[in-house]
Structure 1
Amino acid sequence: MHKKEIVTAGKKLTEAKKALIMIHGRGATAEDIIGLSSYLQVKDFALLAPQATNYTWYPYSFLMPPRQNEPWLSSALALLGDVVSDVNKAGIASENIYFLGFSQGACLTLEFVTRNARRWGGVTAFTGGLIGDKIYPENYKGDFQGTPVFLGTSDPDPHVPVERVYATTNILKSMNAAVTEKIYPGMGHTIDQDEIETANTLIFQ
């Protein structure tokens, strides 16, 4: 199960008006994803990056039936809930909490915010989609109230089929998220400069 190990950077929670929760990918570290913040317009944000136990949030592909990724998936979602609660308790409202994830971290990010839809500050998912062998709409509730969401991905991507990104966009839009989706032909499993610039323009402006 995931322990609560949070790497922080940027402003202190008690001094910041906004917080960005950054979720690393499989095999990566919290420090890796925090390093991405130097390219983002987040100098006034508190930055928080949880570390997955054994560097992975759940053991199998996000396209497996969710029960096969338990109990790790539920543990990871609960950990994100704890982080949000800590940020709220520090005096930062949910509408000023932002999320960013890459790959497995993007899938986890999208799964968390869609299970807990409300007016968030903004969501950036670099190469990810909602989790499961299919979409489970019964898992998703709430109203994003116009939360800006950016989904960027390669077509093709070795881990995330573009069809799942499209399906994710449709669910988010049906829950009143303001979604911008960008598909990059042949980009590969990485984060591209245009994605960074788009996130800065749409989410962190």
Structure 2
Amino acid sequence: MNQAVRIASRTKPHTHVLIVLHGLGDTGQGWTFLASELQQEKCFDSTSFIFPNAPHIPITANSGMHMPGWFDIKEWDPHMKQFDTEGYLKSLQCVEDYVEEQMKNGIPAKNIIIGGFSQGAALTLGSTLNLKEKIGGFFALSGFINSGIKDVIWDNEVNKSAKSCNLDTPIFHGHGDWDPIVAIEKGKQAERYLTEECHFKDYNFHEYAHLEHSVAPQELRDLTNFIKKCWQM
């Protein structure tokens, strides 16, 4: 596993864990504001936060410049026609490792939620297909998933148990309608793919007006309510 920024729960021992995956060029530290936001509410006192750091890799679309990334970006295309499947699958395993770590530490899978922004959201959506344990929920902010990826993920005897365990796990997907980096149509395509082709039953897509490739205050409020609902807080 890569190193991660970890923020401990206010009370010990912790009972819930939120794993949040950053976007291209960012770090785990860049998303620690979410822990600060949630910890203002007492119901999150027993929640620990993990913000993994992506490895520094060459990004083809940035002339091969090295930066934090979960997988390569071949070209700046809001519809993501080219895709680094190998890098993506490698990072999916990293997410799986964090979940297994917490379960070994005694945290029930239902008390773990995975989320992310942009590239991190793409990993989150892939994790819905890849995880071998049913967790509490997933959230994707400005996310996408390439059509057909389930066949790549599931084309492996090891992943047989992952094929249905999270099909009714709640998924929150927030996306701005002015996003120039990941087009909102790519987000809507992810919703259609995961509900129609993969048969996920509890996919909640939220469109935010005039929002670019960022997170809106209303989106954070909606996300907070989603997490509370997943954990019955």
**TM bracket, shorter-chain basis:** 0.7 to 0.9
For residue 217 of structure 2, what is the aligned residue in structure 1? 193
Q: Which amino acid in 2 is paired with 1:136?
A: I
- Which of 40, 47, 51 does residue 53 from structure 2 map onto? 51
Shift of residue 25, structure 1, vs aligned partner: 0.8
- Which of 122, 127, 142 does residue 164 from structure 2 map onto? 142
State whether residues 149 and 203 of structure 1, in contact with CA within 8 Å, keep that contact through their aligned partners in structure 2: no
Partner of 1:204, secondary structure, is: helix
For residue 181 of structure 1, what is the aligned residue in structure 2? 205
Q: Which amino acid in 1 is paired with 2:93?
A: A
* 1:95-106 aligned within 5 A: 95-106=110-121
Shift of residue 19, structure 1, vs aligned partner: 0.7
Partner of 1:47, secondary structure, is: strand
State whether residues 154 and 183 of structure 1, in contact with CA within 8 Å, keep that contact through their aligned partners in structure 2: yes
Structure 1: which 5+ residue stretches go unaligned?
none
TM-aligned CA distance change 1:117 to 1:175, over 3 Å: farther
Q: Which amino acid in 2 is paired with 1:37?
A: A
Shift of residue 35, structure 1, vs aligned partner: 2.2
Separation (CA, whole Å) in 2 of partners of 1:19 and 1:13:
13
Structure 1 position 154 matched with structure 2 position 176: yes
Measured against aligned partners, the alpha-carbon deviations of 1:51-103 in whole angstroms (never above 9, x if no partner) come to 1112111121582444x353x32221111111111011011121111012111
State whether residues 144 and 177 of structure 1, in contact with CA within 8 Å, keep that contact through their aligned partners in structure 2: no
For residue 63 of structure 1, what is the aligned residue in structure 2? 80
State whether residues 11 and 45 of structure 2, in contact with CA within 8 Å, keep that contact through their aligned partners in structure 1: no
Structure 1 position 79 matched with structure 2 position 94: yes
For residue 160 of structure 2, what is the aligned residue in structure 1? none
* 1:2-81 aligned within 5 A: 4-11=2-9, 15-40=13-38, 42-54=44-56, 55-60=68-73, 63-66=80-83, 68-70=84-86, 72-81=87-96
Partner of 1:88, secondary structure, is: helix
Structure 2: which 5+ residue stretches go unaligned?
57-67, 155-162
Structure 1 position 121 matched with structure 2 position 123: no
Separation (CA, whole Å) in 2 of partners of 1:74 and 1:119:
19
Q: TM-score, normalised by structure 2?
A: 0.76
CA RMSD of aligned residues (A): 2.4
Measured against aligned partners, the alpha-carbon deviations of 1:130-185 in whole angstroms (never above 9, x if no partner) come to 1x3x3434236224253221101011311222222223223433534412111123
Separation (CA, whole Å) in 2 of partners of 1:144 and 1:136:
16
Pairs aligned (count): 199
Q: TM-score, normalised by structure 1?
A: 0.85
